[in-house]
Structure 1
Amino acid sequence: MSSADLAHAAALHTLYSDHHHWLTGWLRRRLGCPQNAADLAQDTFVKVLVSRQAARIDEPRAFLTTIARRLMYDGWRRQDLERAYLESLAGLPEALAPSAEEQAQVVETLLRLERMLAGLSSKARAAFIHSQIGGLTYVEIAGLLEVSVSRIHQYMVEGFKQCYQVLAE
Protein backbone atom coordinates (compact mmCIF):
# COMPACT_ATOMS: atom_id res chain seq x y z
CA MET A 1 0.00 0.00 0.00
CA SER A 2 1.42 3.39 -1.00
CA SER A 3 1.78 6.26 1.44
CA ALA A 4 -1.05 8.10 -0.37
CA ASP A 5 -3.31 5.06 0.10
CA LEU A 6 -2.39 4.87 3.77
CA ALA A 7 -3.09 8.58 4.25
CA HIS A 8 -6.46 8.23 2.51
CA ALA A 9 -7.38 5.19 4.61
CA ALA A 10 -6.40 6.96 7.83
CA ALA A 11 -8.33 10.12 6.88
CA LEU A 12 -11.38 8.05 5.93
CA HIS A 13 -11.22 6.13 9.22
CA THR A 14 -11.04 9.39 11.18
CA LEU A 15 -13.87 10.94 9.16
CA TYR A 16 -16.05 7.87 9.67
CA SER A 17 -15.27 7.59 13.39
CA ASP A 18 -15.84 11.27 14.06
CA HIS A 19 -18.94 11.87 11.93
CA HIS A 20 -20.84 8.66 11.09
CA HIS A 21 -23.07 8.79 14.17
CA TRP A 22 -23.78 12.49 13.67
CA LEU A 23 -24.57 12.01 9.95
CA THR A 24 -26.91 9.09 10.67
CA GLY A 25 -28.80 11.23 13.20
CA TRP A 26 -28.96 14.15 10.78
CA LEU A 27 -30.39 11.88 8.10
CA ARG A 28 -32.83 10.22 10.52
CA ARG A 29 -34.32 13.62 11.37
CA ARG A 30 -34.82 14.38 7.69
CA LEU A 31 -36.01 10.98 6.52
CA GLY A 32 -37.91 9.79 9.59
CA CYS A 33 -36.69 6.23 9.05
CA PRO A 34 -33.66 4.86 10.92
CA GLN A 35 -33.00 2.13 8.34
CA ASN A 36 -33.03 4.53 5.39
CA ALA A 37 -30.85 6.95 7.35
CA ALA A 38 -28.31 4.21 8.09
CA ASP A 39 -28.28 3.10 4.43
CA LEU A 40 -27.86 6.64 3.17
CA ALA A 41 -25.09 7.39 5.68
CA GLN A 42 -23.27 4.28 4.47
CA ASP A 43 -23.76 5.31 0.83
CA THR A 44 -22.38 8.74 1.68
CA PHE A 45 -19.18 7.26 3.07
CA VAL A 46 -18.87 4.97 0.06
CA LYS A 47 -18.96 8.09 -2.15
CA VAL A 48 -16.20 9.62 -0.02
CA LEU A 49 -14.19 6.40 -0.30
CA VAL A 50 -14.51 6.32 -4.08
CA SER A 51 -13.78 10.05 -4.46
CA ARG A 52 -10.48 9.64 -2.57
CA GLN A 53 -10.91 13.15 -1.12
CA ALA A 54 -11.05 12.22 2.57
CA ALA A 55 -7.62 13.70 3.30
CA ARG A 56 -8.51 17.06 1.68
CA ILE A 57 -11.78 17.86 3.45
CA ASP A 58 -11.73 21.16 5.34
CA GLU A 59 -15.35 21.14 6.55
CA PRO A 60 -16.30 17.49 7.08
CA ARG A 61 -19.91 18.00 8.11
CA ALA A 62 -20.65 20.36 5.24
CA PHE A 63 -18.96 17.95 2.84
CA LEU A 64 -20.90 14.94 4.17
CA THR A 65 -24.25 16.74 4.20
CA THR A 66 -23.71 17.90 0.61
CA ILE A 67 -23.13 14.33 -0.53
CA ALA A 68 -26.00 12.99 1.60
CA ARG A 69 -28.41 15.63 0.27
CA ARG A 70 -27.51 14.75 -3.31
CA LEU A 71 -28.07 11.07 -2.57
CA MET A 72 -31.42 11.88 -0.92
CA TYR A 73 -32.53 13.93 -3.92
CA ASP A 74 -31.38 11.18 -6.28
CA GLY A 75 -33.42 8.68 -4.29
CA TRP A 76 -36.52 10.86 -4.37
CA ARG A 77 -36.07 11.51 -8.08
CA ARG A 78 -35.71 7.77 -8.66
CA GLN A 79 -38.90 7.09 -6.70
CA ASP A 80 -40.80 9.74 -8.68
CA LEU A 81 -39.53 8.38 -11.99
CA GLU A 82 -40.29 4.79 -11.03
CA ARG A 83 -43.77 5.74 -9.81
CA ALA A 84 -44.53 7.61 -13.06
CA TYR A 85 -43.30 4.68 -15.14
CA LEU A 86 -45.33 2.14 -13.16
CA GLU A 87 -48.43 4.35 -13.41
CA SER A 88 -47.98 4.43 -17.19
CA LEU A 89 -47.88 0.62 -17.20
CA ALA A 90 -51.01 0.30 -15.08
CA GLY A 91 -53.28 0.72 -18.10
CA LEU A 92 -51.63 -2.07 -20.09
CA PRO A 93 -53.19 -5.51 -20.31
CA GLU A 94 -51.22 -8.00 -18.23
CA ALA A 95 -50.12 -9.91 -21.34
CA LEU A 96 -48.40 -6.78 -22.71
CA ALA A 97 -46.84 -5.62 -19.45
CA PRO A 98 -43.06 -6.00 -19.21
CA SER A 99 -41.57 -8.40 -16.68
CA ALA A 100 -40.24 -7.10 -13.36
CA GLU A 101 -36.70 -7.44 -14.73
CA GLU A 102 -37.57 -5.47 -17.87
CA GLN A 103 -39.25 -2.81 -15.73
CA ALA A 104 -36.10 -2.48 -13.59
CA GLN A 105 -33.97 -2.15 -16.73
CA VAL A 106 -36.23 0.56 -18.14
CA VAL A 107 -36.13 2.50 -14.85
CA GLU A 108 -32.31 2.27 -14.78
CA THR A 109 -32.14 3.46 -18.40
CA LEU A 110 -34.49 6.36 -17.67
CA LEU A 111 -32.41 7.38 -14.64
CA ARG A 112 -29.21 7.24 -16.64
CA LEU A 113 -30.79 9.32 -19.40
CA GLU A 114 -31.99 11.82 -16.81
CA ARG A 115 -28.43 12.13 -15.41
CA MET A 116 -27.09 12.61 -18.92
CA LEU A 117 -29.47 15.46 -19.68
CA ALA A 118 -29.62 17.06 -16.23
CA GLY A 119 -27.05 19.75 -17.02
CA LEU A 120 -28.81 21.00 -20.14
CA SER A 121 -31.18 23.93 -20.46
CA SER A 122 -34.83 23.00 -20.93
CA LYS A 123 -34.73 23.83 -24.65
CA ALA A 124 -31.50 21.89 -25.22
CA ARG A 125 -32.98 18.92 -23.34
CA ALA A 126 -36.21 19.13 -25.37
CA ALA A 127 -34.28 19.36 -28.65
CA PHE A 128 -32.15 16.36 -27.76
CA ILE A 129 -35.16 14.24 -26.74
CA HIS A 130 -37.19 15.24 -29.82
CA SER A 131 -34.26 14.31 -32.06
CA GLN A 132 -32.91 11.17 -30.42
CA ILE A 133 -36.10 9.65 -29.02
CA GLY A 134 -38.86 11.30 -31.05
CA GLY A 135 -37.04 11.04 -34.37
CA LEU A 136 -37.88 14.59 -35.43
CA THR A 137 -35.69 16.49 -37.87
CA TYR A 138 -33.81 19.60 -36.80
CA VAL A 139 -36.18 21.72 -38.91
CA GLU A 140 -39.21 20.22 -37.14
CA ILE A 141 -37.61 20.74 -33.73
CA ALA A 142 -36.70 24.34 -34.59
CA GLY A 143 -40.35 24.97 -35.43
CA LEU A 144 -41.56 23.40 -32.19
CA LEU A 145 -39.10 25.29 -30.01
CA GLU A 146 -39.31 28.51 -32.04
CA VAL A 147 -35.55 28.78 -32.53
CA SER A 148 -33.26 28.61 -35.56
CA VAL A 149 -31.98 25.36 -37.02
CA SER A 150 -28.42 26.46 -36.19
CA ARG A 151 -29.48 26.80 -32.55
CA ILE A 152 -30.81 23.23 -32.68
CA HIS A 153 -27.37 22.15 -33.93
CA GLN A 154 -25.82 23.89 -30.91
CA TYR A 155 -28.30 22.21 -28.56
CA MET A 156 -27.46 18.82 -30.03
CA VAL A 157 -23.73 19.38 -29.58
CA GLU A 158 -24.39 20.32 -25.94
CA GLY A 159 -26.53 17.21 -25.51
CA PHE A 160 -23.95 14.84 -26.96
CA LYS A 161 -21.15 16.41 -24.91
CA GLN A 162 -23.22 15.99 -21.74
CA CYS A 163 -23.95 12.35 -22.58
CA TYR A 164 -20.28 11.59 -23.25
CA GLN A 165 -19.27 13.20 -19.96
CA VAL A 166 -21.73 11.07 -17.99
CA LEU A 167 -20.68 7.91 -19.85
CA ALA A 168 -17.02 8.68 -19.09
CA GLU A 169 -17.69 8.80 -15.33
Structure 2
Amino acid sequence: MPAGEFALQHEVQALYSNHHGWLHAWLRKKLGCTHNAADLAHDTFVRVLSKTEPVAAAEPRAYLATIAHGLVVDFHRRRALERAYLDTLAALPEPQLPSLEVRAIVLEALVAIDTMLDGMKPPVRQAFILSQLDGLTYAEIASRLGVTVRTVNNYMLKALEHCYLLAP
Protein backbone atom coordinates (compact mmCIF):
# COMPACT_ATOMS: atom_id res chain seq x y z
CA MET A 1 0.00 0.00 0.00
CA PRO A 2 1.52 3.37 -1.01
CA ALA A 3 2.32 5.82 1.79
CA GLY A 4 -0.23 8.37 0.57
CA GLU A 5 -2.98 5.76 0.51
CA PHE A 6 -2.02 4.59 4.00
CA ALA A 7 -2.12 8.16 5.31
CA LEU A 8 -5.55 8.71 3.74
CA GLN A 9 -6.84 5.49 5.27
CA HIS A 10 -5.48 6.55 8.67
CA GLU A 11 -7.12 10.00 8.38
CA VAL A 12 -10.49 8.45 7.52
CA GLN A 13 -10.17 5.94 10.33
CA ALA A 14 -9.46 8.73 12.82
CA LEU A 15 -12.31 10.82 11.41
CA TYR A 16 -14.66 7.85 11.73
CA SER A 17 -13.54 6.94 15.26
CA ASN A 18 -13.80 10.50 16.54
CA HIS A 19 -16.98 11.66 14.81
CA HIS A 20 -19.18 8.76 13.69
CA GLY A 21 -21.24 8.79 16.88
CA TRP A 22 -21.79 12.54 16.65
CA LEU A 23 -22.70 12.30 12.95
CA HIS A 24 -25.17 9.49 13.57
CA ALA A 25 -26.85 11.50 16.35
CA TRP A 26 -26.95 14.63 14.15
CA LEU A 27 -28.56 12.66 11.32
CA ARG A 28 -30.99 10.92 13.67
CA LYS A 29 -32.16 14.33 14.88
CA LYS A 30 -32.60 15.53 11.26
CA LEU A 31 -34.33 12.38 10.00
CA GLY A 32 -36.18 11.13 13.07
CA CYS A 33 -35.11 7.56 12.34
CA THR A 34 -32.05 5.79 13.66
CA HIS A 35 -31.95 3.32 10.75
CA ASN A 36 -31.96 6.00 8.04
CA ALA A 37 -29.43 7.98 10.09
CA ALA A 38 -27.14 4.94 10.23
CA ASP A 39 -27.44 4.45 6.46
CA LEU A 40 -26.64 8.09 5.71
CA ALA A 41 -23.76 8.17 8.23
CA HIS A 42 -22.34 5.15 6.42
CA ASP A 43 -22.88 6.83 3.03
CA THR A 44 -21.13 9.96 4.32
CA PHE A 45 -17.99 7.99 5.15
CA VAL A 46 -18.19 6.15 1.83
CA ARG A 47 -18.11 9.58 0.15
CA VAL A 48 -15.13 10.56 2.29
CA LEU A 49 -13.35 7.35 1.32
CA SER A 50 -14.05 7.96 -2.37
CA LYS A 51 -12.20 11.28 -2.29
CA THR A 52 -8.66 11.18 -3.61
CA GLU A 53 -7.35 14.21 -1.73
CA PRO A 54 -6.50 14.22 1.99
CA VAL A 55 -9.44 14.67 4.35
CA ALA A 56 -7.62 16.56 7.10
CA ALA A 57 -10.29 19.21 7.60
CA ALA A 58 -9.82 22.08 10.01
CA GLU A 59 -13.42 21.59 11.16
CA PRO A 60 -14.13 17.85 10.76
CA ARG A 61 -17.72 18.04 11.99
CA ALA A 62 -18.55 20.86 9.59
CA TYR A 63 -16.89 18.85 6.81
CA LEU A 64 -18.93 15.74 7.63
CA ALA A 65 -22.13 17.75 8.14
CA THR A 66 -21.74 19.35 4.71
CA ILE A 67 -21.43 15.97 3.03
CA ALA A 68 -24.24 14.50 5.14
CA HIS A 69 -26.52 17.49 4.45
CA GLY A 70 -26.25 16.84 0.70
CA LEU A 71 -27.14 13.20 1.32
CA VAL A 72 -30.15 14.26 3.45
CA VAL A 73 -31.37 16.50 0.63
CA ASP A 74 -30.98 13.63 -1.84
CA PHE A 75 -32.78 11.31 0.60
CA HIS A 76 -35.78 13.65 0.90
CA ARG A 77 -35.89 14.24 -2.86
CA ARG A 78 -35.82 10.50 -3.47
CA ARG A 79 -38.59 9.94 -0.91
CA ALA A 80 -40.77 12.67 -2.47
CA LEU A 81 -40.28 11.14 -5.90
CA GLU A 82 -41.14 7.71 -4.54
CA ARG A 83 -44.30 9.06 -2.87
CA ALA A 84 -45.40 10.76 -6.10
CA TYR A 85 -44.84 7.55 -8.06
CA LEU A 86 -46.72 5.45 -5.50
CA ASP A 87 -49.59 7.97 -5.49
CA THR A 88 -49.77 7.67 -9.27
CA LEU A 89 -49.81 3.88 -9.00
CA ALA A 90 -52.57 4.03 -6.37
CA ALA A 91 -54.78 5.87 -8.87
CA LEU A 92 -54.45 3.08 -11.46
CA PRO A 93 -57.08 0.36 -11.75
CA GLU A 94 -55.92 -2.97 -10.28
CA PRO A 95 -55.36 -4.75 -13.64
CA GLN A 96 -53.00 -2.00 -14.82
CA LEU A 97 -50.68 -2.09 -11.81
CA PRO A 98 -47.12 -3.05 -12.75
CA SER A 99 -45.35 -5.88 -10.96
CA LEU A 100 -43.14 -5.15 -7.96
CA GLU A 101 -40.08 -5.74 -10.14
CA VAL A 102 -41.25 -3.23 -12.76
CA ARG A 103 -42.10 -0.73 -10.01
CA ALA A 104 -38.57 -1.02 -8.61
CA ILE A 105 -37.02 -0.59 -12.06
CA VAL A 106 -39.18 2.45 -12.85
CA LEU A 107 -38.45 4.02 -9.47
CA GLU A 108 -34.71 3.50 -9.95
CA ALA A 109 -34.94 5.11 -13.40
CA LEU A 110 -36.93 8.04 -12.01
CA VAL A 111 -34.31 8.65 -9.32
CA ALA A 112 -31.54 8.51 -11.93
CA ILE A 113 -33.39 10.98 -14.18
CA ASP A 114 -34.09 13.29 -11.25
CA THR A 115 -30.42 13.22 -10.25
CA MET A 116 -29.36 13.95 -13.81
CA LEU A 117 -31.81 16.84 -14.21
CA ASP A 118 -30.87 18.29 -10.83
CA GLY A 119 -27.30 18.69 -12.01
CA MET A 120 -28.33 21.02 -14.86
CA LYS A 121 -28.72 24.78 -14.59
CA PRO A 122 -32.44 25.76 -14.59
CA PRO A 123 -32.65 27.19 -18.14
CA VAL A 124 -30.72 24.22 -19.54
CA ARG A 125 -32.98 21.81 -17.67
CA GLN A 126 -36.11 23.63 -18.86
CA ALA A 127 -34.99 23.58 -22.50
CA PHE A 128 -34.09 19.89 -22.23
CA ILE A 129 -37.47 18.98 -20.71
CA LEU A 130 -39.38 21.04 -23.29
CA SER A 131 -37.48 19.30 -26.06
CA GLN A 132 -37.41 15.74 -24.78
CA LEU A 133 -40.72 15.46 -22.93
CA ASP A 134 -42.94 18.03 -24.63
CA GLY A 135 -41.46 17.50 -28.09
CA LEU A 136 -41.11 21.22 -28.83
CA THR A 137 -38.83 22.44 -31.60
CA TYR A 138 -35.89 24.68 -30.77
CA ALA A 139 -37.81 27.65 -32.21
CA GLU A 140 -40.82 26.89 -29.97
CA ILE A 141 -38.54 26.52 -26.95
CA ALA A 142 -36.81 29.81 -27.77
CA SER A 143 -40.18 31.55 -27.98
CA ARG A 144 -41.37 30.04 -24.72
CA LEU A 145 -38.15 30.85 -22.83
CA GLY A 146 -37.67 34.26 -24.42
CA VAL A 147 -34.22 33.46 -25.82
CA THR A 148 -32.74 32.93 -29.27
CA VAL A 149 -32.69 29.62 -31.12
CA ARG A 150 -28.91 29.74 -30.89
CA THR A 151 -29.19 29.96 -27.08
CA VAL A 152 -31.54 26.97 -27.07
CA ASN A 153 -29.02 25.10 -29.22
CA ASN A 154 -26.30 25.93 -26.65
CA TYR A 155 -28.59 24.82 -23.80
CA MET A 156 -29.23 21.50 -25.54
CA LEU A 157 -25.53 20.95 -26.16
CA LYS A 158 -24.85 21.54 -22.46
CA ALA A 159 -27.70 19.22 -21.47
CA LEU A 160 -26.55 16.43 -23.77
CA GLU A 161 -22.95 16.83 -22.62
CA HIS A 162 -24.15 16.64 -19.01
CA CYS A 163 -26.10 13.44 -19.79
CA TYR A 164 -23.14 11.96 -21.62
CA LEU A 165 -20.79 12.62 -18.70
CA LEU A 166 -23.20 10.90 -16.29
CA ALA A 167 -23.74 7.84 -18.49
CA PRO A 168 -22.14 4.62 -17.22
Question: TM-score, normalised to structure 1's length?
Answer: 0.88
Q: Unpaired segments of 5 or more residues in structure 2? A: none
Q: Give the structure 2 partner of residue 85 of structure 1.
A: 85
Q: Give the structure 1 partner of residue 104 of structure 2.
A: 104
Percent of pairs with identical residues: 48
Shift in Å at residue 98 of structure 1?
1.7
Partner Cα separation in structure 1 for residue 166 and residue 9 of structure 2? 27
1:133 paired with 2:133, answer yes
Closer/same/farther in 2, CA of residues 51 and 62 from structure 1, 3 Å limit: same
Shift in Å at residue 34 of structure 1?
1.9
Q: Unpaired segments of 5 or more residues in structure 1? A: none
Q: How does 1:1-169 map to 2 (within 5 A)?
A: 1-167=1-167
Question: TM-score, normalised to structure 2's length?
Answer: 0.89
Partner Cα separation in structure 1 for residue 13 and residue 130 of structure 2? 48
Closer/same/farther in 2, CA of residues 149 and 50 from structure 1, 3 Å limit: same
Segments of 4+ in structure 1 off by > 4 A?
A: none
Amino acid at match of 1:24: H
Query: Does the 8 Å CA contact 2:138/2:152 hold for their aligned counterparts?
Result: yes
Query: Does the 8 Å CA contact 1:48/1:54 hold for their aligned counterparts?
Result: no
Q: Which is further off, 101-110 or 16-25?
A: 101-110
Q: Which is further off, 16-25 or 114-123?
A: 114-123
Query: Does the 8 Å CA contact 2:142/2:148 hold for their aligned counterparts?
Result: yes
Partner Cα separation in structure 2 for residue 157 and residue 110 of structure 1? 22
Query: Does the 8 Å CA contact 1:23/1:65 hold for their aligned counterparts?
Result: yes
Secondary structure at the residue paired with 2:50? helix
Amino acid at match of 2:98: P
Query: Does the 8 Å CA contact 1:7/1:55 hold for their aligned counterparts?
Result: no
